[in-house]
Structure 1
Amino acid sequence: MNAKRWIALGAAALLFGLSIIINIASFAFSNDWTSNFENMLAVPESEYTESVLEAGDLSERIAVLTVDGVIQDTGGATSLFGAAGYDHQFFMDQLEMIKEDDSIKAVVLQVNSPGGGVVESAQIYDKIKEVQEEVGVPFYVSMGSMAASGGYYIAAPAEKIFLNKETLTGSIGVIMESVNYGKLAEKYGVDFVTIKTGPYKDIMSPTREMTEDERAMLQDMINESYESFVDIIEEGRGMTEAEVKKVADGRIMNGRQAIEAGLADDYGYLEDVIEAVRKDFDLENAEVMQYEYPSGFTSLFSMKAQSLMGGDMETQLVGRLLSDYNAPRMMYLYGEK
């Protein structure tokens, strides 16, 4: 490992130590102190900028939105060493800005995601429906290499869905996972002491086997979220429950299979989808734009850190070191968390 990576790893360890100090200090200081610190790092909605992708009529515009990465809400906190991935608050702000902007006549939603949280996916879906119904803005979806599970969930309400023959989509369903290392700990003489207020307080504990009652409770929750997923596809795609459930068994499919199953409409890349929007909604002269973050210290430092560290195992280890622990939760997600 070269000197640059040693420096980067050292900086990461320092940041990790500082994060511990900040968490401890948050108990000693008032909530105002911690909220002010978070606000200092946040980007106000009013400071978002716009960039023009295709020049045209400013009174009739097509907005291009992008969901790239796992759909999850990190509370606006992005690791300095993390990739510039999906930002839930930024995306929700974009939908709100579109709702309030009379010049936006249509939206092209780019989706390149394996899915993510059940709650976050539902928030996006509900907001898209709100924009469609309250201000009449249509959505066309352009799927990238993957738009699976929650990635398909947020695409379902679109007027049309375009993908590529090689796009991986589907994976309709819900998953909740945990790791049980109780036997491994027992082998090495590690004893876990748990004090709880009820028999189910440590449900999905990684230190013991799950009981049948606990499994039944969780399965009931999973089934309810699954039925919600099926319902939004029925409504969005005009399909029957039987037609949806025929392919809603967690399977993934390519573009051809998705079109044949009724889950997508046609093939096309982003430029094809934009052209389809122009033609279908008489927007031949419309400007095509997208929202962006203003350039700042955090994004600049993040890019520099990534260039120093590269995309190897050390990067992954640092990413895990700096990320918060995520308790098991329901996910519309394809592949590993």
Structure 2
Amino acid sequence: MNTKRWIALIVAAAVLGISVVINSAFAFLQGSFAESIDEMMATTQSSVSEVVLESGDIDSRVAVLNVEGVIQDTGNTSSLFGTSGYNHSFFMEQLENIKEDPSVKAVVLAVNSPGGGVVESAEIYDKITEIQEETKKPFYVSMGAMAASGGYYIAAPADKIFVNEETLTGSIGVIMQSVNYGELAERYGVDFVTIKSGPYKDIMSPTREMTEDERALLQEMLDDSYESFVDVIEEGRDMTEKEVKAVADGRIMNGRQAVEANLADAIGFEEDVIEQVKADYDLGNAEVFQYGASEGWGSLLSMKMNSFFGNDIETQMISKLLTEYSSPRMMYLYGDK
């Protein structure tokens, strides 16, 4: 190996070591110090607040729930350079509040998401259908710029789905991806040693080629999740399996095409959806509100550190490389997370 490659490896190792130290120290500060303060404050404030969007009858309200970003449970942790995004436990808490609050008469679900995890999407779907069955509260969906794959999965049980003409939706299907860098590592003299208890324990390893048996096992899993996705649309949109599978091949479509395929009901912006649910359920004087998170010290610390280091694209890329857990998983997802 020549001098330049040795220098590159040393620099890479140094950067990795520094990032581990920094993230560990930050995790300690945020996880120990911040969480202890948040726990002390928990008795005096709720983790969920309300923001009134339109004043009206407080006993007859319309709740607006926002799903923004990739739908996955990241454990609600923040890195040193972390930015705010979708918070799965917080969103599930909002749904529980909707179920238990008798003043909420209808819900507008505003979705702007490329989808996300199979498990998280199913959890949201199950909770929405539970609320519909037990409380009879209507759910109307307002799709934003994107409501694809898992973003459509969680919208499927809605009473009505509205799209913009330029909404990117569809992408019905399941995907699982990994990166194979074995050949690259071999080129630089990196040798991976694996000791495993069974032949499939390192399935989808990034250091070797996948076997046909492994591919067949994974394909069966994905096919099961795909059929579940199709069933959700069949039930939610009152379509036949043949009708769903005609467009459930991973293709994306715009709002007009979604309406023509019966995956959506009409064209409209979020304010149009709110007015429509009011008109359909005689809620003309209803208060319209959305939930917000009460910021704890941990969140504030993350925001301050992010502000200090900046939020440029290079910082975001470094954060993605250093902090994301990259183990392959099944996703209802369009594009790269």
Q: How high is the TM-score relative to the length of structure 1? A: 0.87
Letter in 1 for 2:316: T
Partner deviation per Cα, 1:125-160 (whole Å, 9 max, x = no partner): 000000110111110000000000000000000000
Match of 1:333? 333
Decide whether the 8 Å contact of 1:116 with 1:333 is kept in 2: yes
- Quote how far apart the aligned CAs of 1:35 are: 9.1
Decide whether the 8 Å contact of 2:23 with 2:80 is kept in 1: no
Match of 1:155? 155
Decide whether the 8 Å contact of 1:80 with 1:298 is kept in 2: no
Distance in 1, Cα, partners of 2:88 & 2:95: 11
Decide whether the 8 Å contact of 2:152 with 2:169 is kept in 1: yes
Match of 1:97? 97
- Quote how far apart the aligned CAs of 1:307 are: 4.2
DSSP-derived class of the 2:215 partner: helix
| Structure 1 position 315 matched with structure 2 position 319 | no
- Quote how far apart the aligned CAs of 1:81 are: 2.7
Distance in 1, Cα, partners of 2:199 & 2:75: 31
Change over 3 Å in CA distance of 1:193–1:15 after alignment to 2 = closer
Change over 3 Å in CA distance of 1:125–1:225 after alignment to 2 = same
Moved over 3 A (4+): 13-16, 18-23, 34-47, 295-308
Letter in 1 for 2:58: L
Decide whether the 8 Å contact of 2:23 with 2:79 is kept in 1: no
Query: For 1:49-68, what aligned pairs fall within 5 Å after superposition?
Result: 49-68=49-68
What 5-or-longer segments of structure 2 have no aligned partner?
Answer: 1-16
Letter in 2 for 1:310: N
Decide whether the 8 Å contact of 2:35 with 2:298 is kept in 1: no
- Quote how far apart the aligned CAs of 1:288 are: 0.4
Match of 1:17? 21
Distance in 2, Cα, partners of 1:318 & 1:35: 21
Distance in 2, Cα, partners of 1:326 & 1:101: 38
Change over 3 Å in CA distance of 1:186–1:263 after alignment to 2 = same
Query: For 1:1-337, what aligned pairs fall within 5 Å after superposition?
Result: 16-17=20-21, 19-20=23-24, 46-308=46-308, 309-321=310-322, 323-337=323-337
Letter in 1 for 2:21: G
Match of 1:28? none
Decide whether the 8 Å contact of 1:182 with 1:207 is kept in 2: yes
**Across the two proteins, how many residue pairs are aligned to each other?**
316
Share of identical aligned residues, percent?
66
- Quote how far apart the aligned CAs of 1:306 are: 4.1
Change over 3 Å in CA distance of 1:198–1:78 after alignment to 2 = same
Q: How high is the TM-score relative to the length of structure 2? A: 0.87
Distance in 2, Cα, partners of 1:314 & 1:18: 14
Query: What RMSD, in angstroms, separates the aligned Cα atoms of the two structures?
Result: 2.4
Distance in 2, Cα, partners of 1:18 & 1:146: 35
